[in-house]
């Protein structure tokens, strides 16, 4: 047992970066599992989400974090606190940036924040397929002038380029020791969390810019049924204004039905069993600024 612990490595890796840089896409790719919802809209991820990748001689616990921004309201403050806790828990930090002609000023600000933790920082340059290779070296040199990284790896999270190399390169930087979770574990979140996230993803996909950010999804009932019968899931979609409630529901309830149909299909695929999904819409004024509501909706402990 002692010999195995000496060659086995296990640790936490937090992924940091700007909104919409591809953090969730990367972790989903590495785990080969849809851990985090992804949409074209920024700030889709609101929680610190944990995913476990186990190999023969390693276990990497990835922490997906909300995109780092300057908070504009209480929910965003809570989101940034979740990200900061993840950085505190991590053994290695990944700074995910987008391939571009030069470093973005916000990326450099995030880098300075990560460097202050005094933990190993990987620079992971995403969307490498969108930049000409001759431009890649000057971009790397510009970042190297700012910090000495543990590793620098260009990848494409969408297409999987260099993702296996990223895992291979991460392992030697993890602490030696035994696995922290069972080998077949994928996450510490319960099924109802992923159900709420699927519904929220459909809202991000189907509605305009303002509505998704004003919306929370709360699972009020999650009842597994006996064999041959459908599970019963009742979910509440919370908005901040009555006018938003009308938009969510749509004319004659058409939009809410569409959210339900698309969500149910994916929920059934996730759970591997039939589901009866009931959605309703509630108004809680300024819930994003209210600590009581944030706790009720699962954004604060």
3-class SS of residue 17: strand
CA distance 213 to 202: 13
Contact in structure between 69 and 82 (CB atoms under 8 Å): no
pLDDT digits (tens, 9 = 90+) for 93-147: 999 999 998 999 999 999 999 999 999 999 999 999 888 888 899 999 999 999 9
Indicate if the pLDDT at residue 1 is higher than 50.
Answer: no
**pTM to 2 decimals?**
0.87
List alpha helices for 8-73, DSSP H.
23-31
Query: Who wins on pLDDT, 69 or 213?
Result: 213
| Nearest residue to 106 (alpha-carbon basis) of 67, 145, 133 | 67
Report the share of the chain in percent with pLDDT over 70: 97
- pLDDT of amino acid 2: 42
Give CATH for domain 2-173: 3.40.50.300
Homologous superfamily of domain range 191-296:
K homology (KH) domain (3.30.300.20)
List Cβ neighbours of 3 (8 Å cut-off, separation of 6 or more).
none
Indicate if the pLDDT at residue 70 is higher than 60.
Answer: yes
DSSP state of 207: S
pLDDT digits (tens, 9 = 90+) for 12-28: 999 999 998 999 999 99
Domain ranges for the chain: 2-173, 191-296
């Amino acid at each position: 047992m002692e010999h195995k612990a000496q060659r086995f490595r296990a640790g936490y890796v937090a992924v940091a970066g700007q909104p919409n840089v591809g953090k969730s896409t990367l972790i989903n790719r590495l785990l080969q599992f849809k851990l985090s919802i992804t949409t074209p809209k920024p700030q889709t991820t609101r929680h610190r989400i944990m995913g476990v990748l186990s190999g023969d001689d390693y276990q990497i616990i990835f922490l997906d974090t909300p995109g780092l921004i300057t908070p504009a309201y209480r929910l965003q403050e809570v989101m940034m606190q979740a990200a900061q806790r993840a950085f505190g828990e991590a053994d290695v930090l990944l700074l995910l940036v987008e391939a571009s002609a030069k470093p973005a000023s916000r990326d450099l600000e995030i880098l300075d924040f990560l460097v202050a933790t005094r933990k190993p920082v990987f620079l992971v340059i995403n969307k490498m397929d969108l930049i000409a290779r001759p431009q890649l070296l000057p971009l790397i040199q510009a970042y190297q002038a700012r910090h000495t990284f543990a590793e620098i790896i260009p990848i494409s999270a969408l297409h999987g380029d260099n993702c296996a190399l990223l895992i291979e390169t991460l392992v030697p930087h993890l602490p030696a020791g035994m696995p922290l979770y069972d080998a077949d574990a994928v996450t510490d979140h319960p099924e109802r969390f992923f159900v709420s996230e699927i519904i929220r993803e459909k809202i991000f996909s189907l509605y305009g810019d303002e509505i998704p950010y004003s919306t929370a999804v709360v699972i009020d009932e999650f009842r597994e049924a006996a064999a041959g019968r459908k599970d019963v899931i009742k979910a509440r979609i919370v908005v901040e204004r009555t006018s938003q409630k009308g938009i969510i529901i749509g004319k004659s309830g058409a939009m809410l039905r569409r959210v339900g149909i698309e969500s149910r299909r994916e929920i059934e695929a996730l759970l591997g069993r039939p589901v009866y999904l009931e959605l309703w819409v509630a108004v809680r004024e300024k819930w994003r600024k209210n600590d009581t509501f944030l706790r009720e909706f699962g954004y604060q402990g």
